[in-house]
Amino acid sequence: MTEVVDRQTGQRRTEPQFAGAGLRLLYGPRLLLPLVDGLIARRWFSRLLAWPSTRPASAARIPAFVRTFGIDMSDYAEQDYASFAEFFTRPFRPGARPVDAAPGRLVAPADSKLLAYPVSDDLTFQVKGLAYTLPELLGPPGRPVRAGPASGPKSTAAAAGSRTGGGSAADMSSPRWCLVFRLTVDDGHRYCFVDDCEVVDSYEVPGALHTVGPYSDRKVRVLARNHRVVTRLDTASFGAVTVVEVGAMVVGRIYNHRVRQARRGQEKGWFAYGGSTIVLLVGGVRIDEDIVGASRAGLETKVRLGESVGSRA
């Protein structure tokens, strides 16, 4: 079980776990980890597990799922879903997730549970008791993810980045914070850009699909081993920002819009069926104290897409 601080009420609550019995069995005894590595965490196996949820009959599971996980369906566009997988990528209702418009505010990219970790001078950081380095997280670049044609108003990110001392988005040598936004099955699985920006580049890092959550904590270095997509941004308020979308068990597919410029709160993409994680590497920002304090205590903070989590330093 995982305790989460609900930012709206200030209360702690225990997060319900999806498929908890099975995951506890797989990730409990260390003797089963070779089986998980060799079979269950393979991408083809996750596609096989997810296939029944793409069938029309799977839509019958939706009402019970909504009740079990307390999902407020008034937050989402009203529609009939052809399958459980389609329900899982449901779009938000217009206006359901207002984006903080105050200049210099950093917003949450998704409905999620947030932990904030400082990045040390040697470019390492700790996540759930496991040490990572930035090169491990960012991985060897795989297949490039191409941006689409420039469209919409020209972003002012490049000029603003130089004014704020953020520098080029290609320079990720000294981000101050690693922000880990963990999406669970009760969250909407669409995510947004965290500031006005220009997309510098994007690439895939091939990997496995371990579960991301309490059952793999302290056992599997998922942020360095799972399949992920890395996008480097040149932002208006924070200079260089790197976004890493991390796939998870049953979630091998990460869909990003192909754009070159974007506005804060503009949809960046979505995860297919399952739960997953977004990692944000950012400097020149003061993370809100309630989030920092909860993170120091090992508690995740429940945040919503577009909600402010920090401000320009």
Catalytic residues: 111, 276
Q: Distance (Å, rounded) from C-alpha 105 to C-alpha 264? A: 10
Pairing of strands 239-246, 276-282: antiparallel
Q: Distance (Å, rounded) from C-alpha 303 to C-alpha 307? A: 7
Q: Distance (Å, rounded) from C-alpha 138 to C-alpha 204? A: 10
Q: Distance (Å, rounded) from C-alpha 142 to C-alpha 304? A: 31
Burial of 87 (0-12, 13-18, 19+ CB in 10 A): buried
Q: Which residue has the tokens 């120091």?
A: 296
Percent of the chain that is helix, strand, coil (3-state, to 5): 25, 30, 45
141-159 residues labelled b (16+ CB within 10 A) or e (exposed): eeeebebeeeeeeebebbe
Evaluate whether 184 touches 275 at the Cβ level (below 8 Å). Answer: yes
